[in-house]
Amino acid sequence: MDEVLLSARQLTKRFGGLAAVHGVSVDLWRGRIHAVIGPNGAGKSTLTNLLSGDLPPTSGQVQLGTTDVTGWAPERISRQGLGRSYQKTNIFMPLTVHENVRL
């Protein structure tokens, strides 16, 4: 069954005069693989932060399932089932390679 798990409509984030994300609309479907690609500075991290609630949008809407979560705190969104992790680049020397990967 096709089901949209997360969607954004006309999502925009401005930092002063700079539009880091402008008018993005996307649907993320259950059971499909999705990717956001682009060069440095294209707004990939900003989009992720908008979807997860780490940044409030300047305009637009974020919907998790059938619930409008626009402007919700990340903690509240995570309780609805959407969380994010941050890139970890540290290597912990006392641990094995396998143990580091598991982190």
Give me the domain span that covers residue 19.
4-91
What contacts 77, CB < 8 A, 6 or more positions away? 52, 53, 64, 69, 83
Whether residue 1 is predicted with pLDDT greater than 70 in this model: the reply is no
Cα separation of 62 and 16, whole Å?
22
In a domain? residue 96? no
In a domain? residue 103? no
For residue range 2-39, what is the model confidence (pLDDT) as tens digits? 899 999 999 999 999 999 999 999 999 999 999 999 99
28: CATH = 3.40.50.300
In a domain? residue 77? yes
In a domain? residue 68? yes
In a domain? residue 102? no
In a domain? residue 99? no
Q: Which residues of 76-96 are buried (b: 16+ CB within 10 A; e: fewer)?
A: ebeeeebeeeeeeeeeeeeee
In a domain? residue 40? yes
A 10 A CB-CB count for 44 gives: 16
What's the pTM?
A: 0.81
Domain count, the chain: 1
% of the chain surpassing 90 pLDDT: 80
Q: What pLDDT sits at residue 92?
A: 85
In a domain? residue 101? no
